[in-house]
């Protein structure tokens, strides 16, 4: 890879984008702008998160259903086991199927009170593997699950974490999407360990473009991801310079992707935080260009 960034790479890269459901009209407009800006890049799918404790059930559904209805994108709905019975979760999944949504990102979810151990609902799904098996019984959904290159905080060891990932894939999931990470070697070690554990499914790196280290650290503490010390130094003195932080975020994420590409990665999942330009710039550096839709080709 001696070309500058991604210039000259063949067009063999696939991307997917993750959004979160908006709370206000202004955020709804921002989300929709992000969807419309990123759609021409032809993502394999776009997904919409499910708030802690099922707090966004309606908003997630409304957002996914709108993407499915109003765009030609394949929409995926995140779904968690938290605070809901099997019957309630199955009903949500049935609504998705009826709305034409064919892809679910199946998760256990986090306990409603941060720091407390996870307790399954007495009539609920016990964990993500159990949820995958339940969804499989309902319909032939495409199912993605979560993976943790730096180990999930609830897992004693990486062996236990990989056993759990294998259970989710054996239960019927198609691919794993990882928690964010900042060291390509960490991802490669994880991919090798997964292969050694007999995992053959695609493991898609989740890429978080960081423009606010303090905010990212708060979140990383909960999910077991490490923020390297050099990242603090990189953003030093830029608190009042959001534009500079964005440029650095794009550069860092593109550099991570470039190294992952060199190691054979061909699908990148972006945590967009509903911001279009950052993800767009990184994809552009990756060599992605707008693809003409079928209607445009026909015109
Ligand atoms: P699981 O795979 O069920 O496992 C969690 C941990 O528990 C693992 O360490 C596992 O080893 C352990 N475990 C599971 N079953 C057992 C068992 N039977 N015995 C012993 N240990 C067990 N959260 C949301 O609330 N909404 C979202 O939209 C959302 N989207 C996400 C998207 C991605 C790509 C990722 C990586 C995470 C996402 N999360 C989301 C966060 C996720 O819900 C949390 O990380 C949660 O703590 C674990 O969910 P999981 O699906 O990985 O759980």
Encode pLDDT of 138-167 as tens digits: 999 999 999 999 999 888 899 999 999 999
CA of 151 to the centre of ligand 1 (A): 11
Cα 42 to ligand 1 centroid, rounded to whole Å? 28
Residue 46 β-bridge partners: 17, 75
Catalytic residue among 18, 25, 236, 296: 18
- The backbone region for 274, taken as left when phi is positive above 0, alpha when psi lies in -120 to 50, beta otherwise, is left
Ligand 1 atom, smallest distance to 52 CA: 25
| 274 pocket-lining for ligand 1 (C-beta < 6 Å) | no
Q: pLDDT tens, 179-213?
A: 999 999 999 999 999 999 999 999 999 999 999 99
What is residue 191's predicted lDDT score, i.e. its pLDDT? Answer: 98
Which numbered atom of ligand 1 lies nearest the CA of 206?
34
* Helix residue spans in the chain (DSSP H): 25-38, 57-70, 86-98, 128-138, 158-170, 184-196, 213-223, 229-235, 242-262, 276-285, 294-298
Residue with tokens 């198609």: 174
Atom 1 in ligand 1: residue holding the nearest Cα: 128
Q: What is the CB neighbour count within 10 angstroms for residue 107? A: 21
Give distance in angstroms: CA of 81 to centre of ligand 1. 10
- Our answer to whether residue 18 is catalytic in this structure is yes
Counting from 1 in the atom list of ligand 1, the atom nearest the Cα of 161 is: 11
Q: Which two tokens stand for residue 290?
A: 């707008």
| Secondary-structure breakdown of the chain: helix, strand, coil percentages, each rounded to the nearest 5 | 45, 15, 40
Under a CB-based contact definition with an 8 Å cutoff, are residues 27 and 281 in contact?
no
Which of 112, 150, 154, 224 to probe ligand 1 with, by most ligand atoms within 8 A of CB?
A: 154
Structure tokens at 111: 């306990």
Q: Averaged in consecutive runs of 10 residues, what is the pLDDT profile of the chain (299 residues)? A: 55 92 94 96 96 81 94 96 95 96 96 85 96 98 97 90 98 98 96 97 97 87 83 93 95 94 95 95 91 67
- At 293 the pLDDT is 59
HSE on the CB side for 232, CA within 13 Å? 6
Residue 78 CB less than 6 A away from ligand 1? yes
Given a contact cutoff of 8 angstroms between Cβ atoms, the answer to whether 46 and 18 are in contact is: yes
Indicate if ligand 1 lies below 6 Å from the C-beta of 161.
yes
For 103, the 3-state DSSP assignment is: strand
Nearest to 81 by CA among 130, 37, 48: 130
Closest residue to atom 39 of ligand 1, CA basis: 109
Residue 128 Cβ contacting ligand 1 at under 6 Å: yes
Report how far ligand 1's centroid is from the alpha carbon of 131 (Å).
Answer: 11
Q: What is the model's pLDDT at position 219? A: 81
pLDDT of residue 10: 60
- Nearest residue (by CA) to ligand 1, atom 19, is 164
Are the C-beta atoms of residues 102 and 68 closer than 8 Å to each other?
Answer: no
pLDDT at 42: 95
| Ligand 1 atom at shortest distance from the alpha carbon of 223 | 45
Predicted pLDDT of residue 178: 98
Which of 57, 152, 172 should be mutated for ligand 1, with most atoms under 8 A from CB?
152
CA distance 70 to 161: 38
**What is the pTM assigned to this prediction?**
0.95
Q: Could you tell me the distance, in angstroms and rounded to a whole number, from the CA of residue 126 to the centre of ligand 1?
A: 11
CB of 110 within 6 A of ligand 1: the answer is: yes
């Amino acid at each position: 890879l001696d070309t500058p960034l991604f210039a000259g790479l063949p067009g063999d890269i696939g991307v997917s984008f993750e959004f979160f459901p908006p709370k206000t009209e202004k955020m709804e407009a921002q989300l929709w702008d992000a969807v419309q800006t990123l759609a021409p890049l032809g993502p394999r799918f776009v997904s919409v998160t499910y708030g802690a404790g099922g707090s966004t059930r309606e908003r997630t559904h409304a957002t996914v259903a709108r993407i499915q209805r109003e765009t030609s994108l394949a929409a995926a709905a995140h779904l968690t086991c938290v605070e809901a019975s099997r019957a309630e979760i199955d009903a949500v999944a049935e609504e998705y199927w009826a709305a034409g949504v064919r892809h679910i990102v199946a998760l256990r979810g986090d306990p409603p009170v941060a720091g407390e151990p996870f307790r399954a609902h007495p009539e609920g799904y016990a964990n993500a593997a159990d949820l995958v098996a339940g969804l499989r019984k309902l319909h032939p959904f495409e199912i993605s699950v979560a993976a943790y290159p730096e180990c999930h905080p609830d897992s004693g060891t990486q062996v236990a974490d990989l056993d759990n990932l294998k259970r989710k894939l054996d239960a019927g999931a198609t691919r794993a999407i990882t928690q964010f990470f900042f060291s390509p070697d960490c991802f490669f070690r994880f991919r090798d360990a997964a292969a050694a554990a007999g995992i053959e499914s695609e493991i898609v790196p989740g890429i978080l473009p960081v423009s606010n280290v303090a905010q990212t650290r708060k979140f990383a503490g909960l999910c077991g991801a490490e923020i390297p010390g050099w990242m603090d130094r990189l953003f030093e003195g830029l608190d009042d310079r959001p534009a500079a932080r964005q440029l650095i975020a794009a550069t860092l994420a593109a550099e991570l992707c470039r190294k992952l590409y060199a190691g054979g990665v061909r699908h990148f999942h972006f945590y967009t935080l509903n911001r279009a330009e950052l993800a767009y710039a990184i994809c552009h550096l990756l060599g992605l260009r707008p693809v003409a839709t079928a209607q445009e080709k026909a015109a």
